């Protein structure tokens, strides 16, 4: 701790790009885009495999509590919207206990990744990190808002879900069902809404 300034940390400069429209459109990233979904799956599996037993300062965010917090925020606007009402009702009927808690980035999307010509160079912006259900990161990466007009590319506007999940499985040895991802896409879309 630096007196008067709080805790400090060291960083390294990692060259790359994090502006989504450049990554999705510039020719210099064309080769990177071809393998990026798989690399993102691998990176997430590595994040989710970190041993968190000594992470006492990292908040725990159970999904049911997160849903309740989102619902309270929504209700505070006092403007009922049928799509939100239905989404909350539907999500409250889902089973969120299928995965063991893990380190969760909390905002894993193209704008928080550094990409170079060879693909994923770094995962940045860790201010939303928590311990919770790892599917939160997987669903968040796949919501329509992060596709930037490339709707057919479910993963960040650049990749296919199958490649993303294959990358994840190659590290985690866990199979993830597409239907499970859809539940988390709905939750992610609701969070963003």
Length of the chain: 193
Report how many domains make up the chain: 1
| CA 98, chain centre distance (Å) | 18
Query: CA of 33: how far to CAs of 16, 65, 109, 133, in Å?
Result: 13, 36, 14, 27
CATH number of the domain that 171 lies in? 3.90.1200.10
Residue 25 lies in a domain: yes
Q: What is the pLDDT, as a whole number, of residue 97?
A: 82
The candidate with the shortest Cα–Cα distance to 119, out of 11, 49, 23, is 23
Q: What is the DSSP letter of 102?
A: E
**Residue 160 pLDDT greater than 90, yes or no:** yes
Residue 2 lies in a domain: no
**Residue 1 pLDDT greater than 70, yes or no:** no
- What range does the domain containing 154 cover? 20-192
Non-local (6+) Cβ contacts of 1 within 8 A are 7, 8
Residue 146 lies in a domain: yes
Q: What is the pLDDT, as a whole number, of residue 46?
A: 99
Residue 6 lies in a domain: no
| pLDDT tens digits for range 70-95 | 999 999 999 999 999 999 999 999 99
Residue 47 lies in a domain: yes
Residue 8 lies in a domain: no
Q: What is the pLDDT, as a whole number, of residue 77?
A: 96
| pLDDT tens digits for range 95-150 | 988 799 999 999 999 999 999 999 999 999 999 999 999 999 999 999 999 988 88
Residue 12 lies in a domain: no
Statement: the pTM of the whole predicted model exceeds 0.85:
yes
Give the chain's mean pLDDT. Answer: 94
**Residue 2 pLDDT greater than 70, yes or no:** no
Residue 87 lies in a domain: yes
């Amino acid at each position: 701790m630096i007196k008067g300034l709080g805790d400090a940390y060291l960083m390294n400069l990692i060259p790359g790009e994090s502006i989504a429209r450049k990554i999705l459109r510039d020719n210099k990233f064309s080769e990177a885009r071809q393998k990026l979904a798989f690399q993102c799956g691998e990176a997430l599996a590595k994040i989710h495999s970190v041993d968190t037993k000594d992470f006492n300062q990292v908040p725990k965010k159970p999904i049911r509590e997160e849903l309740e917090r989102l619902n309270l925020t929504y209700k505070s606007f006092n403007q009922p919207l049928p799509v939100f009402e239905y989404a909350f009702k539907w999500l409250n009927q889902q089973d969120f206990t299928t995965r063991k808690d893990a380190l969760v980035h909390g905002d894993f999307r193209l704008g928080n990744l550094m990409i170079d010509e060879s693909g994923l160079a770094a995962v940045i912006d860790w201010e939303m990190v928590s311990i919770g259900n790892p599917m939160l990161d997987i669903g968040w990466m796949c919501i329509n808002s992060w596709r930037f007009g490339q709707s057919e590319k479910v993963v960040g506007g650049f990749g296919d879900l199958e490649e993303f999940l294959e990358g994840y499985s190659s590290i985690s040895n866990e199979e993830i069902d597409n239907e499970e991802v859809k539940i988390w896409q709905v939750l992610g879309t609701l969070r963003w809404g």
